[in-house]
Amino acid sequence: MNKKTIRDIKVAGKKVFVRVDYNVPMDKSGQITDDTRIRATLPTLKYLLEQEAAIILASHLGRPKGSPVAEFSLAPIGRKLAALIGQDVVFAPECVGPVAQSMAKALQPGQILLLENLRFHKEEEKNDSAFAGELASLADVAVNDAFGVSHRAHASVEGITRFVPAVAGFLMEKEIAFVGGAVANAARPFVAIIGGAKVTDKIGVIENLLQKVDTLIIGGGMANTFIAASGYGTGKSLVEADKLDLARSLIGQAKERGVNLLLPADVVIADRFAADAAHKVVAINAISEDWMALDIGPASQQAFAQALVGAKTVVWNGPMGVFEMDAFAKGTEAVAKAVADSGAISIVGGGDSIAALEKTGLASKISHISTGGGASLEYLEGKVLPGIAALADKE
């Protein structure tokens, strides 16, 4: 996908509207507990400042449902950004209206203005044209660096592009190159590892990847549904009974296409869903009736790691077990290590997969960590993301 980026346009002396995804976790006292998403935008912001642009930043935070909610104000984020970027960030108490207009008008090259939460207005999520036009009127050009919301046709993401030209920031450019590249023309062998609780959440991804990968590995809670579909007893494990036919169909599709579909050979089962539950490793044909599978076992960890040897592209989305509990985190951590050590172009998405990388200290060995959960899933499904489609194409 050949989209224009901030390198392809002249921004000197211009006011640049930059849509970012600063929807970051905060504690009850308003302290930001993870600033990864803010730090991820710094290369784009620094480049624009070096090019003598004036930056108008816009983001959402939480789910204020279309009206102002004090706890979802972006003011603390402005203070955090100022500390990270080493210069003042002016905060506008509104994102549209006369105050925002006059503050944007007064903004000089090299300065940063952060607008208040876009979702304090219901028009943002409705992609209201008048609201998009008001946002556009603040600036000369728009930049989308918010991949995490680019699967949503919202006013600040898609609507604004009808009023001012829009290009990709560096973070967006990276997402298009890596996640889009994996879907369009991955280097082979191409291995995908899909985990998480439910098949329902990832049906589209699995179906699309089955047409593209050489090996598909399935772990996590969703693997139980495939294990049950293969005729094994699963005890009290999470199984989507209404998805058994679908799982059988996907197993059949993999065979037809010559895709190596790997399911767990052994699992860690527990007598209840609790961090201190009694647990043991069993083969998938020996899951006790009153027990539940909560992680992949050591033989599966080894087989999954072996499947990555020699891979050129690896995509990983979703944990292998109940990663939040230490007793059932070993499978996810083993996969994190195998992906990091694979030497392949590695693309990781999904909060739990990223958390596993951070926990194991392996994040720096991954080619690309995707900042968008739902967006990266839809991109891997092969869907057109409205926020990307709306960006200007290179000539």
Q: Which of 233, 310, 343, 351 is catalytic?
A: 351
Using 70 as the pLDDT threshold, list the residues of the chain that sit under it: 1
Q: Which of 79, 162, 198, 248 is catalytic?
A: 198
Active site residue 331: no
pLDDT recorded at residue 135: 98
Active site residue 258: no
Q: How many CB atoms lie within 10 A of CB 36?
A: 14
Q: Which of 37, 80, 119, 202 is catalytic?
A: 37
pLDDT recorded at residue 350: 80
Q: Where in the chain is the domain with CATH 3.40.50.1260?
A: 6-173, 186-380
pLDDT recorded at residue 136: 98
Q: Which of 204, 373, 374, 382 is catalytic?
A: 374
Active site residue 318: no
pLDDT, mean over the chain: 95
Q: What is the CATH number of domain 6-173?
A: 3.40.50.1260
pLDDT recorded at residue 1: 59
Active site residue 79: no
Q: Which CATH architecture has domain 186-380?
A: 3-Layer(aba) Sandwich (3.40)
